[in-house]
Amino acid sequence: MTSMSQPRTYGGWRAARSAGLGPLDARQSAVVLAAILIPIFIGFVAGVRLTLYLLPVTALVVVGAIARRDGVLVVDSTRAWARWRWAEWRTHTTYTGAVFTPVNRPWHLPGVLAPTRLLDVADPGRGRIGIVWNQRTGAMSATLMLSPAGALLADTDDVNRRVAGWGTLLAGLADDATIRHAALTVELVPEPGTQLADHVAARLDRTSPALARSVMDELVDTSPRTSAQVRTRLTVTCDPSIGAATPRQVPDAVAELLRTLGGLAVSAAGAEVVARASASDMIRIVRTAYDPDSEAVTEGWDLLRWHEASPVYAREGYDTYRHDGAHSLSWVLAEAPRQQVTHDVLLRLLSPGRFRRRITLLYRTLPRDVAAHLLEREVNAAATREELSRRAQRNSTARDRADATRAARAAAEEAAGAGLVQVSLYVTVTCGDRAQLAEACREVEQAAGHSRLRLRRAYGGQAAGFAVGLGCGVYPSDG
């Protein structure tokens, strides 16, 4: 019997905000005050005429500290553009593989993946597993290939239990000090309609009864001509040096990561672990992302090495990323849903479309003591903004009041034992022709709008945004 209980709603996401003047945060307030007070001080020392000369600079600094574009401060977007232009001038935005550069070099993959190394490790009783080791930071990442249970035909109580199980899994990550962050990736790969026909034809026994062959042929003929593979994977990144009295050697660090993977209660969250990604699986994930045409290759992946997963050619533009004849565009979450939502809010974004798409949710769980301190600071900042508005005899905005309420609720939930998770979302779409990018963008942005998300393009960071969902432990704020 299907349960008739009402579906639960979820919400309460909020961006961290520090105390400041009015709607400004602490950094903006400091810049504005400095831009105003410094010319006044110079006027007292050097005369009013010099102050008048500084007024255009003051106005420019104030506008840059206040104005936003796509939810990002103009000063931050300008800095990102300047850094990208500097990298382009130094040719750091272009990568050519070993085909064109036979000289031996320490790094083999482009961009943020350059310091990574793939370890092929034997996991006793579970086969082999591929671990991506970032030699610059020391972090190690392992990927679980998941088979999530569908929710469209499940009853409401079962879905609620799965969501609660996922929340428990995330909260439990905070209890393991070695875990840096986790990434849940859903990859949607369109397929030609001939795959089912080829699959059935290769397995059809010609000596079988005619009726059975007729039924199979009819099923193939009436099946949809287009389909898509939906691949789900969970990547856990650990820093084995945390909590260790002495630096751990690589074998000890690998053992610590395997111990962490064994303690993850993924099945309670409505998903089953199909396998732990092997070294050849990781090579295939990275290689097919850079070269979508290699999806047709079904054998020989275990013969490749890590550097052979890199693209032959890649070039990062300010708003696009070109790699091995394909073109990609990445977005980052600008604003989460303001209202309460149901469990299926991301359904449209996670539904297959015409183009290859990769959606990655990044989670960073904070230790209990850090979470308590951070939430207390957020509550105090909200109270400070309210007090400043009262002293200025200005009514606080509805957004400020709602934000203060969410901050107080989060602090109360943390005090009752809940975990605090920093979450972000990255979306990457890939197509074979640059002329198709406009249509692919409309498809993604329309799906994100139905999912009540506001995305912004990762200007100046397309290569990093592309690498986030590859299961290599990339977390952009790590630098």
Contacts of 420 (CB under 8 A, 6+ apart): 174, 365, 366, 371, 374, 375, 410, 414
Q: How large is the angle between the packed helices 26-46 and 48-66, nearest 10 degrees?
A: 170
- pLDDT band, residue 402 (cuts 50/70/90): confident
What is the distance between the terminal CA atoms of the chain, rounded to a whole angstrom? Answer: 52
List the domain boundaries for the chain.
104-366+419-478
**pLDDT value of residue 192:** 63
**pLDDT value of residue 271:** 83
**pLDDT value of residue 2:** 46
Secondary structure class of 250 (helix, strand, coil): helix
Express each pLDDT in 141-191 by its tens digit: 999 999 887 666 667 778 888 888 888 888 778 777 788 899 999 999 887
Express each pLDDT in 298-324 by its tens digit: 788 888 899 889 898 899 999 999 998
Express each pLDDT in 405-417 by its tens digit: 777 877 777 777 7
**Nearest-angstrom CA–CA distance, 20 and 272:** 46
Say if residue 125's pLDDT is above 80: no
**pLDDT value of residue 3:** 47
Between residues 71 and 300, the one the model is more confident about: 300
Question: What is the average pLDDT across 371-395?
Answer: 74
**Nearest-angstrom CA–CA distance, 294 and 309:** 11
Q: What are phi and psi of 146, to 5 degrees?
A: -110, 155
Contacts of 317 (CB under 8 A, 6+ apart): 93, 462
- pLDDT band, residue 290 (cuts 50/70/90): very high
Question: What is the average pLDDT across 205-223?
Answer: 79
Contacts of 86 (CB under 8 A, 6+ apart): none
Express each pLDDT in 195-210 by its tens digit: 666 777 777 787 888 8
Contacts of 44 (CB under 8 A, 6+ apart): none
Between residues 35 and 255, the one the model is more confident about: 255
Report the percentage of the chain scoring pLDDT > 90. 25
Q: Write out the H or E segment, with its range, that includes residue 78.
A: helix 74-89
Tokens 């449209």 appear where? Answer: 348
**Nearest-angstrom CA–CA distance, 39 and 52:** 8
- pLDDT band, residue 327 (cuts 50/70/90): very high
Say if residue 46's pLDDT is above 80: no
Q: Write out the H or E segment, with its range, that includes residue 213.
A: helix 210-222
Q: Write out the H or E segment, with its range, that includes residue 410.
A: helix 398-415
Question: What is the average pLDDT across 468-475?
Answer: 92
Between residues 167 and 291, the one the model is more confident about: 291
**pLDDT value of residue 195:** 64
Express each pLDDT in 425-469 by its tens digit: 999 999 988 899 999 999 999 999 999 999 999 998 999 999 999
Question: What is the average pLDDT across 116-123?
Answer: 90
Contacts of 66 (CB under 8 A, 6+ apart): 24, 28, 32, 73
**pLDDT value of residue 386:** 74
Contacts of 416 (CB under 8 A, 6+ apart): none
Alpha-carbon distances, residue 63 vs 26, 29, 58, 265 (angstroms): 16, 12, 9, 49
pTM as predicted: 0.84
**pLDDT value of residue 1:** 44
Mean pLDDT of all residues in the chain?
A: 82
Question: What is the average pLDDT across 226-231?
Answer: 77
